[in-house]
Chain A
Amino acid sequence: MKTYLKITAVAAMIWVIPMAFLGEVSVQPILHETIRNLYWHVTMWFAMFILLLASVVHGIAYLRHNNPIRDEKSLALTQVALLYGGIGIVTGMIWARFTWDTFWTKDPQLNGAAITILAYLAYMVLRASIPDARKRAEISAVYGIFAFVLMVVLIVVLPRMQDVDSLHPGKGGNPGFGNYKDLKNDMRLVFYPAILAWTLLGFWLANLSFRIQHLNRTSHAQH
């Protein structure tokens, strides 16, 4: 990973983390101060989605050129995306407890996210069940592409169908965050850098994880 991207990630985090706790936020009924979770919870999903997209791109590249490095990168990105998904679920549950008064609801977006995580856990099981490295790379790339496309349908298309009741902002008749009159640009100035920060951090984590796993594999091969 390029150094300037790491510097950008750190700089963005230095801006985002204090601002997320101390910055001006929109005053809304029910939400109150929990609106700050926007910077943690919502950005986790954005970052997870981008990481999974990158993982699929590596999967496609693997199928085209059969370069095992691509498979290792794809795996590392998926692992970090799963970690982000777990954090996204937990932060979402805490938020839901304080605004919707329950940890878990029938919300389509919530359940879509949970199912995505299940599908990618199945991806891990699939990988673990194939001893041969080349076959494992091929099959898991195919499954990864298949799952990703269907998950896009699940998370992006289904919850946006007009009649779906969602508690999430911008759906099911709820106002979106963009409609809050006093939101102006203050929150966006933290929200967008937060997406950038967590996404870059995710790529950084994935890169480190890939390098460790790659070293492990190649050093085992030599002995």
Chain B
Amino acid sequence: MPIWTWIRHEWRLELRQKAGIQGAVLYVLVSLVVAYQATGGVQEAEIWVGLLWIVLLFSVVNSSSRSFVNDSPGRKILLYFWLKPGQLILARMGYQMVFNLVSGCLGFLVFCLLMGFPGNQVFLMLILVAVGSAAASALGTFMAAVASVSGNGPGLSAILGLPLMVPTLMAAVKGSLFALQGGTSQAWMYAGMLLLLNLLAVALGYLLFPYLWRD
């Protein structure tokens, strides 16, 4: 089976209980409005970028922490026999990465609608938002797996995941600042670095998940 089949399967599972997706999208919107209300709109590039990434990071944490919560014991057994552990984690990570990439980009556009865009390279920012959200969701999904097999709720996956997401956050914030202030080549370099973080997180997840999934 190609990887796309497993991701589509995840997507179908999500669609069956619409509350999950609707909740995740609403979470992005609500936190955007909260950020807007709390600051009254900002134009300073550093604060603007910081707010954007805080909102994006927390919505990624929120959506990815759900990724192993809804598995009933019966479904776990089915997945255990149906997929190899590596396939399962790739599917889960892939689904979350695509979902957060899309919702992150949409959230970014809404953020610009509310706060304005203090620069001119919208496309470059979109790329950074996409790779940054994807990297954070790969990490978040793996932490959700760790929290789930340890018998803890999604609360622990936030505690475990947030410190590990800081390298992603630092690269994303730096890159975004360059994108806003005209440092195109540096911004692309940070986008490349975020892409590498994506690959690193996926590779580590693929290698390590089999050890979590063997009971």
A interface residues with partner B (beta carbon < 8 Å)? 63, 108, 111, 115-116, 118-119, 122, 125-126, 129-130, 135-136, 138-139, 141-143, 145-147, 149-150, 153-154, 158, 161, 163-164
Residue numbers in B under 8 Å from A139 (CB-CB): 146, 149-150, 212
Residue numbers in B under 8 Å from A146 (CB-CB): 142, 146, 164, 204-205, 208
Residue numbers in B under 8 Å from A63 (CB-CB): 211
B121 adjacent to chain A (CB < 8 Å):
no
Residue numbers in A under 8 Å from B160 (CB-CB): 122, 125-126, 143
Q: Can you list 25 contacts pairing A with B, beta carbon distance less than 8 Å?
A: A115-B166, A119-B164, A122-B159, A126-B146, A126-B150, A129-B156, A138-B212, A139-B146, A141-B211, A146-B164, A146-B204, A146-B205, A147-B163, A147-B164, A149-B200, A153-B197, A154-B166, A154-B167, A154-B170, A158-B167, A158-B170, A161-B189, A161-B193, A163-B186, A164-B174
B interface residues with partner A (beta carbon < 8 Å)? 139, 142, 146, 149-152, 156, 159-160, 163-164, 166-167, 170-171, 174, 178, 183, 186, 189, 193, 197, 200-201, 204-205, 208, 211-212, 215
Complex Cα gap A142–B183 (Å): 38
Q: How far is the CB of A149 from chain B (nearest CB, A)?
A: 6
Complex Cα gap A158–B200 (Å): 15
Main SS class of interface, B: helix
Complex Cα gap A197–B5 (Å): 55
Residue numbers in A under 8 Å from B215 (CB-CB): 135
Residue numbers in A under 8 Å from B139 (CB-CB): 150
A108-B170, A119-B163, A122-B163 known; A142 and B212 CB under 8 Å? Answer: yes
Complex Cα gap A163–B173 (Å): 13
Please name 15 further chain A to chain B contacts, defined as beta carbons within 8 Å, in addition to the given A142-B208, A150-B201, sorted by A numbering: A108-B170, A111-B166, A116-B163, A122-B159, A122-B163, A125-B159, A125-B160, A126-B150, A126-B160, A139-B150, A146-B146, A147-B164, A150-B164, A150-B200, A158-B171
